[in-house]
Amino acid sequence: MSLQNTNPTTTIAWQALEKHFHEIENVTMQQMFQDDKLRTQNFHIKWDKFLLDYSKNRINQKTINLLLDLANEIGLKEGVNSYFSGDIINQTENRAVLHTALRANKNDSVLVDGENVIPEIFEVKNKIKSFSEDIISGNKKGFTGKSFTDIVNIGIGGSDLGPAMVVEGLQFYKNHLNTHFVSNVDGDHVSEIIQKLIPETTLFVIVSKTFTTQETLTNSETIRNWFLKFAKQEDVAKHFVAVSTNIKNVTEFGIDKNNIFPMWDWVGGRFSLWSAVGLTISLAVGFDNFDKLLSGANKMDTHFKIESFDKNIPVILALLSIWYNNFFGAESEAIIPYTQYLQKLAPYLQQGIMESNGKSIGRDGKTVNYQTGTIVWGEPGTNSQHAFFQLIHQGTKLIPTDFIGFSKSLYGNKDHHDKLMSNFFAQTEALLHGKNSNQVATEFKEQDISSETAKFLLPYKVFEGNKPTNTFLIDSLTPETLGSLIAMYEHKIFVQGLIWNIFSYDQWGVELGKQLANSILREINTQEVKNHDSSTEFLLNHFIKNNH
Ligand code: F6P
């Protein structure tokens, strides 16, 4: 079954939300908290090791009810069934969207073209397990008989961001293997990494779903050529493995058939870390931890599938985001994890969210007449407090922000963790309440400031507050909770794409630049620049003159 095709602005719920927005837009959250003592009790969800408090949002019960009406009118229940059961919901690529099957249980059954894909998934999982164990234990050795010490993941986009984010995120659980990530076609990137490597003890994991991606193939060739300065052709089989759907191209590259980890076209690149794309994760933290990551995601899948929408974390997050994006006109959202381990979470989610929902043609084939994909950005707290929080507190833009914190730190340094988390709580409180002119004036009095200076400074020191935040308080950062967290955002993406009536699982928007880059490369090589606008022609000629 395909997804319902409804312009959301034509629904009864959307029109009711527009009316409701005018009732509520000037009511402050400060007022809402004063008027409703049960607010936090009503607007939080406790699930597994997660607590989500969404009471610091510009909503009341009516807002939530209307947003839930919107989800129902759009056919969310049926949509979720189609998503999990392997229907062709990626219609523009004629594919199912089944990253959820990668973390399903062994006894589950998920059909693609009438065939249960779970046994195949477990076959690959077993291959990941035994390969990782052999590398970690030193059972498998390099061409001089030494154990491996370094792993290099070569890939880009979904074939890089997921593994890189998780390996960094789970650093606490990491073994002795050093991990490196080469992604950019920028030759300086690969050169910097090669310098750190010893060929006889380095394993290269080439990850490319299509095995046609310019960046990954170029980096792989450069690395193989470098490797062959120290080793023989037959040693490549011991040091290079690949993860891909394109067995033909991988074999042509010279990789041994046994060293290919397959994946499937029903796994989108940006949702693929759960597949063999996560091989580097399994190598870095061991298969058991990789499996726990998968089971955390599976738990979130079950929550999303069976929980009623009013207590369903991904559904509530998606609806709140639509509320700000489509009614308040918010342009972006921030994601602030209060752990340095998750410093790559925002770039990772940028691909997931913006490549999926950055679309302007609806499922009816027409240009949408409303806003779709949100811009997401972020950095860990407290660093971000000293960077861009000024704008969130006192700028002119409304930036709904997710705060992600953990009750326990991993090394158990209580002093640091209490300081970190004091900042976490202080920020959401400050964003809610702000500081009014009376409070500022009282502070001035206590500070013995001249009345002239106080008058001048007062407007600059006022914080309006009323800035929306979601607070996630999670027990601790483990493979399991990280798996749940990532899956939570994946399902948020699905719900938003469904409601915005777009196709979330293709990415045609990245093709044009790739095509043009190929023809420009030919012109740079032949030094014959033609058929461009005057600006591009001028720039290319300048580059060729200085580059050759
Ligand atoms: O940027 C476009 C894209 O297709 C992403 O969706 C994907 O993750 C990335 O390129 C890498 O693709 P591949 O794994 O096929 O090399």
**What pLDDT score was predicted for residue 35?**
96
pLDDT of 1 > 80? The answer is no
Residue 355 appears among annotated catalytic residues: yes
Contact 80, 249 (CB under 8 A): no
Where helices occur in 307-449 by DSSP H, the ranges are 313-322, 345-350, 356-357, 389-394, 414-433, 437-446
Distance CA 118, CA 98 (A): 11
User: Within 13 Å of residue 66, how many CA atoms lie on the same side as its CB?
Assistant: 22
Q: What is the pLDDT of residues 148-170, one digit of tens each?
A: 999 999 999 999 999 999 999 99
What is the pTM assigned to this prediction?
Answer: 0.97
Q: What are phi and psi of 525, to 5 degrees?
A: -65, -40
Is-catalytic flag, 123? no
- Which residue among the candidates 62, 386, 416, 419 is catalytic per the annotation? 386
Instruction: Give residue 448's pLDDT band: very low, low, confident or very high (50, 70, 90).
Output: confident
Question: What is the per-residue pLDDT for 348?
Answer: 98
pLDDT of residue 360: 98
379 catalytic? Reply is: no
pLDDT confidence band for 400 (50 / 70 / 90) = very high
Task: Output helix, strand, coil percentages for the chain, rounded to the nearest 5.
Answer: 55, 10, 30
pLDDT at 288 over 80: yes
Residue 2 has what pLDDT? 84
Taking alpha carbons only, the member of 216, 198, 218 closest to residue 207 is 216
pLDDT over 90 at 412, yes or no: yes
Q: What is the pLDDT of residue 410?
A: 98
pLDDT tens-digit profile of 366-398? 999 999 999 999 999 999 999 999 999 999 999
Q: Exactly one of 355, 379, 480, 490 is catalytic; which is it? A: 355
Res 406: pLDDT: 98
Average pLDDT in the chain: 97
Q: State the angle between helix axes of 313-322 and 479-499 in degrees (0 to 180), rounded to the nearest 10.
A: 50
- Closest among 540, 481, 438, 511 to 297, alpha carbons compared: 481
244 lines ligand 1 (CB under 6 A): no
Structure tokens at 247: 């067995």
How far apart are alpha carbons 52 and 75 in whole angstroms? 25
Residues 291, 483: Cα–Cα separation, whole Å: 10
Average pLDDT over residues 210-239: 97
Give the percent of the chain with pLDDT over 70.
100
What pLDDT shows up at residue 20?
Answer: 98
Instruction: Determine whether the shortest distance from the Cβ of 56 to ligand 1 is under 6 A.
Output: no
Catalytic position from the list 408, 455, 514, 542: 514
Share of residues in the chain with pLDDT > 90 (%) = 99
**pLDDT digits over 289-308, tens only?**
999 999 999 999 999 999 99
DSSP 397: S
pLDDT at position 335, please?
98
Atom of ligand 1 nearest to the CA of 161: 8
Write down the pLDDT at residue 470: 98
Q: What is the mean pLDDT of residues 484-489?
A: 99
Tens of pLDDT, residue by residue over 3-43, are 999 999 999 999 999 999 999 999 999 999 999 999 999 99
